[in-house]
Amino acid sequence: MAIAGAPGTAVTAFVDLHCHTSASFDSLASPRAVVAAAARRGLTHLAITDHDRIEGALEARDVAPVGLTVLVGEEIRTRDGDLIAVFLSTAVPPGLSAAETIAAVRAQGGLVGIPHPFDRFRGSISKGETLRGLEALAATVDWVESWNARLTVGDGNVRAAELARAAGVPGVAVSDAHTTLEVGVASTILGGDPSTPDGLRAALAAGPVMATGRASFYVRLATPLAKVVQRARGRGRIRPVANP
C-alpha cells in the first residue's frame, strides 16, 4: 500500500468512505462481517454506502465494535451517474438528477462525494457530463474519489485526481469494497474527528493523506456471483424513480 499526501499531516483517523454490504444488489458481505474486517485492519471510520439503500449501514452502525465509527451512507444512482452520500437519516431515491440528489442529501445535513468518476465500466458521472460540466459539478461536492481500489484498468484514477485539483475539492482514496477481503485496502488518513459532517468537512479541508492499495482482480470475480444470488433472493437493484 502506497501512502501519498500532505507531509506532516496529523494522523488521527483512518477512513474508508466507500464500502458495500449484503444490502447492496452486488455484495454478499454481511454488515457484521464488514465492520469486523474494518476493525481488524485498523480503520477508525467506515462509510457503508450500499446501492440506493441504507438499511445495511444502519445495521452495521448498531453492531460496530468499539473504536469503529460507522457513517450511514448510500451510493445513489442519479440520472447523470453515481454519487456517494454520508450522514443520512433516510435513503435518497435513485433516478433524480445529480443536482436534485445533492440537494436531497444537503437537506438531511449530509455530505456528498463523486465515486469513480472516470470508470468506463460503471455508472460514472463523467458519462453524463462534458468535462466543463463535470468540473462545475465537482465544485459543488465535498470530495472526489481520486483513488478507487476497484479501478484497475485505464487511467481513471489519474483523471479523477486531476478533476479534484481542477475543481478545488479534496481527493480521497477508498476501497469500494464488495467483499470483506477488500475492506480498507485503500483508505484516507485524516487529522481531526470525521465523525460528524462538520468534522469530516474540516478534516478533508486540512489535507487528506491517501493510502492507495488495489483490489485483487480475483476478488472482484465474486461480484457477478453476488448479483445472481441477490437477484434470486429478490434483492436486485432498486428501480429508479420516473423522470419528472
What whole-number percentage of the chain has pLDDT above 70? 91
C-alpha to C-alpha distance for 74 and 221, rounded to whole angstroms: 23
CA distance between the termini of the chain: 45
Q: What is the per-residue pLDDT for 123?
A: 74
Q: What is the per-residue pLDDT for 130?
A: 63
Does the pLDDT of residue 5 top 60, yes or no? no
- Residue 205 pLDDT grade (very low, low, confident, very high; cuts 50, 70, 90): very high
Please give the domain boundaries of the chain with CATH numbers for all domains: 2-232 (3.20.20.140)
What whole-number percentage of the chain has pLDDT above 90? 77
Q: What is the per-residue pLDDT for 1?
A: 56
- Residue 7 pLDDT grade (very low, low, confident, very high; cuts 50, 70, 90): very low
Q: How far is CA 109 from CA 61, 85, 87, 201, 238, in A?
A: 18, 10, 7, 12, 24
Q: Between 134 and 102, where is the model more confident?
A: 102
Please tell me the pTM assigned to this model.
0.91
Q: What is the per-residue pLDDT for 135?
A: 92
Looking at 25-29, 122-126, 150-154, 223-227, which range is the least confident one? Answer: 122-126
Asked whether the CA dihedral 64, 205, 197, 139 is positive or negative, the reply is negative
Looking at 66-70, 125-129, 157-161, which range is the least confident one? Answer: 125-129
- Residue 2 pLDDT grade (very low, low, confident, very high; cuts 50, 70, 90): low
Q: What is the per-residue pLDDT for 98?
A: 95
pLDDT, tens digit, 9 for 90 and up, residues 143-187: 999 999 999 888 999 999 999 999 999 999 999 999 999 999 999
What is the mean predicted confidence (pLDDT) over 20-37? 97
